[in-house]
Amino acid sequence: MSISFDLSQDHLDLRDWVHTFAADVVRPAASEWDEKEEFPWPILEEAAKIGLYSVDFFATQAFDPVGLGIPITMEELFWGDAGIGLAIVGTALAAAGVSSNGTADQVGEWVPQMFGEPGDLKLGAFCSSEPDAGSDVGAMRTRAVYDEATDEWVITGTKTWATNGGLADIHVVTAVVDPELKTRGQASFVIPPGTAGLSQGQKFHKHGIRASHTAEVVLDRVRVPGRCLLGGKEKLDERLARARDGARKGGSNASMATFERTRPAVGAQAVGIARAAYEVALDYAKTREQFGKAIIENQAIAFTLADMKTQIDASRLLVWRAAWMASQGKSFDAAEGSMSKLMAGETAVKVTTQAMQILGGNGFTREYPVERMSRDAKIYTIFEGTSEIQRLVIARTISGAPIR
């Protein structure tokens, strides 16, 4: 078996293609959409026109034989801008919710409807978090009840913090089907476009990633056909029976399965933000003069940049390792997916703060992009599992101890 840290020509081409879009279309629009705090439809349209916002593109990258297609795409796009980046990839994260829990028929039916076509774009949203169930997924209250007479599920509850929530055409919603089984009594459902009873609640005004839409989603006795239960009723009944018998096997609950697949991808987004801020700081340090010399000639500045670059590269290596492991079907015996997201998220916050420091007063203004990058970076210690939850997962996995 061989090992190489060289990217293949296909990966280099992918990186350059996404980078060109990020540099030419995303980065120049970043400040405008951050200020407007609105969903950047025109940029999504540009991404769709070149095939970047499309089911084919994300499906191809998701099946990359060594797993690097998604991390490379994420890093380059989020190097351009994180708010617009999330507006472009939010649907892909929802699609991962369908592909990790759904049957092949369900993936074929719903995922294309999440993307639409240039000129008629669609969005997907993944809705798991609730007002009283963030880190504690077991506290979920949204309830799905099966109506045998009509072969429909009736879903009621309030979801919060949903990326694309309410704007989306397809919502993927997690709900409790058997309250006694806690996380093992949950399932995921597709809510088709225009379903009665689903509405957008509050839209959140955020510290960062402001071009990405985040909102509450209210489900008031939403009725969906039986085929909207991801994985199907038979599989659900088997899983519930196993859980009731107390059997240990049977896999994780619906939300956790989705998060496991998406964590390295989210880590790669954080690497993109950190790299962007580092590059701005490096250029600035070489040209800004104080005391008759470039500020980079001060060891304090140069060593900070050395630390920034080292931590970014270490984060990327952890992300790539976890993505590669997922592609090879390896088990995450030391929670390597969580490690990658923890390291990359913490690095993005640290590096963007260091970049602001290197830019001095300019770093604190909206004339320079590191102020926005620093605001954007903070979400990476919060969503897709906070840093504390990543540490909890890693600590439990490496120790086997019931750490709380």
Ligand X SMILES: Cc1cc2nc3c(=O)[nH]c(=O)nc-3n(C[C@H](O)[C@H](O)[C@H](O)COP(=O)(O)OP(=O)(O)OC[C@H]3O[C@@H](n4cnc5c(N)ncnc54)[C@H](O)[C@@H]3O)c2cc1C
Catalytic sites, residue numbers:
384
Strand partners, 54: none
Ramachandran sector of residue 394 (left: φ over 0; alpha: ψ -120 to 50; beta: rest):
alpha
Q: Are 45 and 96 in contact (CB under 8 A)?
A: no
Half-sphere exposure of 78 (CA within 13 A, CB side): 32
Residue closer to ligand X, measured from CB, 176 or 295: 176
Binding residues for ligand X restricted to 11-30, rule: CB under 6 A? none
Closest approach, Cβ 133 to ligand X, in A, equals 7
Residues 6+ apart with CB under 8 A from 265: 70, 71, 74, 89, 93, 323
Cβ-based nearer residue to ligand X, 136 or 237: 136
Tokens of residue 119, six digits: 């000129």
Cβ pair 73, 114 in contact under 8 A: no
Q: Which is nearer to ligand X, 164 or 304 (CB)?
A: 164
Least distance to ligand X, CB of residue 289, Å: 39
The count of chain residues that interact with ligand X, using the rule CB under 6 A, is: 21
Of residues 181 and 392, the one with the C-beta less far from ligand X: 392
Angle ∠(288,27,38) on CA atoms, nearest 5: 125
DSSP SS3 for 161 = strand
- Close Cβ partners of 310 (under 8 Å, ≥ 6 residues apart): none
Query: 75, 273, 101: which is closest to 187 by C-alpha?
Result: 101
Question: In the complex, what is the shortest distance from the CB of residue 345 to ligand X, in angstroms, rounded to a whole number?
Answer: 12
Residue nearest to ligand X (CB): 134
Site mask for ligand X (CB under 6 A), range 361-380, x = bound: ------------------x-
Instruction: Work out which of 44, 47, 127, 217 binds ligand X, going by CB under 6 A.
Output: 127
Residue 172 CB, nearest approach to ligand X (Å): 9
Q: For ligand X, which residue of 17, 146, 364, 383 counts as binding (CB under 6 A)?
A: 383
Q: Is 134 in the site for ligand X (CB under 6 A)?
A: yes
**Angstrom distance (rounded) from CA 382 to CA 176:** 24
- Per CB under 6 A, contacts with ligand X among 204-233 are 206, 209, 214
Residue 252 binding ligand X, by CB under 6 A? no
- Our finding on whether 135 is near ligand X (CB under 6 A) is yes
CA distance 31 to 370: 11
Q: Does 181 bind ligand X (CB under 6 A)?
A: no
Residues forming contacts to ligand X in the complex (CB under 6 A) are 126-129, 134-135, 161-163, 206, 209, 214, 379, 382-386, 388-389, 392
